[in-house]
Amino acid sequence: MSRSQKADQDLTKVLNQLWHLDKNRLRPGTDYRISLQGKAGYVAQGSNVARDQAKAPLFTYVNEDKLKSIKTYEYFISLLDNYEMSTGVSETVTSEELKENKLFIDAIVETDVMKCAHQYLVKKGKSPSDLGQFKRQLYDIWFRLYHRDRSGGEDSCGFEHVFVGEAKYGKEIMGLHNWVQFYLQEKHDNVDYKGYKARDNKDTPDEDDHVLNLQFSWKGLVKPVGGSFIGVSPEFEVALFTIIFLMSTEKMTSVVVKVDEYVLELVVCRHGQSIGTSYPKLLSSNNRDL
């Protein structure tokens, strides 16, 4: 077995451990319901015209009381409000926001999911065993501000890109790979779900799938295809993408793993010592070949 195959097996094992430990994952059909509707068509990159194959929203129901009763979701939702959509607009980070960033990290490191990720990273020599130092490492990966737009100030960070989403030159959507943000933006009429993406008819996803490829518009800008976990906890996504980020030094890393019933391509791009972007791409599920 080649070293890379061994590494992928190793990665598959830990990511499945995270999956099984994710007790804050919401249950489809019970805690939330989605309506997949039609299959989205082709949209050229940079075009903002997409035929709407889904008249209704993606999320028909989310138990918000349950979300707000779980500490990691509660802090996560308060963070979503703190970021300015446009790249190139310097973020002003207030002391209140700094406190919220830290509260979120404090809450996620207490979960079994993050404890498992931390142990794995320590074992691999990628993270300090000291919890305070590990939290600082997470902070730098996800919350340290950097220049995404060359002309502007420090206008972006990994958390904002991946979980919140941002617009590039007012034209193209970047990021927004998180289901909670998608749901909240849909509720405020900012997101319009256009349909699911699949290669052909036998690849139709199920409404209890925890990973989807979606097409949508956000404040009038179209994202031709975006991969997203559905129903998983914020700590699960942070843990998974932190592991992939720290296990590689490449500018762009892509690994194919089988997590639960899903064969996924997980993509992480780095921006110095921080995450530039990270997202899942569903390749197949339940032995459906996409």
In a domain, 177, yes or no: yes
Mean of pLDDT over the chain: 86
* Residue in the block written with tokens 């997202």: 279
Mean pLDDT of the region 99-117 = 96
Q: Is residue 274 part of a domain?
A: no
Residue 69 belongs to some domain of the structure: yes
| 278 domain residue, yes or no | no
Query: In the prediction, which pLDDT does 92 show?
Result: 65
Note the residue count of the chain.
Answer: 290
Would residue 253 count as lying in a domain? Answer: no
Residue burial 63-97, b: 16+ Cβ < 10 Å; e: rest? eeeebeebbbbebbbebbebbbbebbbebebeeeb
pLDDT (tens digit, 9 = 90+) per residue, 176-233? 889 999 999 999 898 999 999 987 665 678 899 999 999 898 887 888 888 899 999 9
CB of 85 closer than 8 Å to CB of 167: yes
CA distances from 46 to 101, 220, 279 (A): 33, 12, 20
Please check whether residue 251 lies inside any domain of the structure. Answer: no
Angle (CA) 16 19 23, round 5° = 150
> For residues 220 and 228, what is the distance between their CA atoms, to the nearest angstrom?
20
- Whether pLDDT at 289 is above 60: no
Stretch 268-287: mean pLDDT, rounded?
84
Residues 39, 118, 135, 161: which is the catalytic one? 161
User: Percent of the chain, pLDDT > 90?
Assistant: 53
Q: Say how far apart CA 58 and CA 66 lie, in whole Å.
A: 19
Question: Is 161 noted as a catalytic residue in this protein?
Answer: yes
Active-site hit among 39, 177, 194, 281: 177
Percent of the chain exceeding pLDDT 70 equals 84
Query: In terms of residue numbers, what domain contains 110?
Result: 10-40+50-246
pLDDT at 222: 82
37 phi-psi bin (left φ>0, alpha ψ -120 to 50, beta other): left
Residues 6+ apart with CB under 8 A from 12: 257, 258, 259
Is the dihedral angle over the CA atoms 136, 103, 230, 35 positive or is it negative?
Answer: negative
The count of domains in the chain is 1
Please provide the distance, in angstroms rounded to a whole number, between the alpha carbons at the two ends of the chain. Answer: 27
Q: Does residue 28 sit within a domain?
A: yes
- Domain assignment present for residue 3? The answer is no
Cβ 113 vs Cβ 239: under 8 Å: yes
Q: What is the CB-side half-sphere exposure of residue 29 using CA atoms within 13 A? A: 4
Residue 173: its pLDDT value, please?
Answer: 63
Active-site entry in 135, 194, 197, 223: 223
Q: Is 20 a catalytic residue?
A: no
In the numeric block, the tokens 């193209």 are attached to 172
| Catalytic-residue membership of 223 | yes
How many contiguous H segments (helices) and E segments (strands) does the chain have? 9, 11
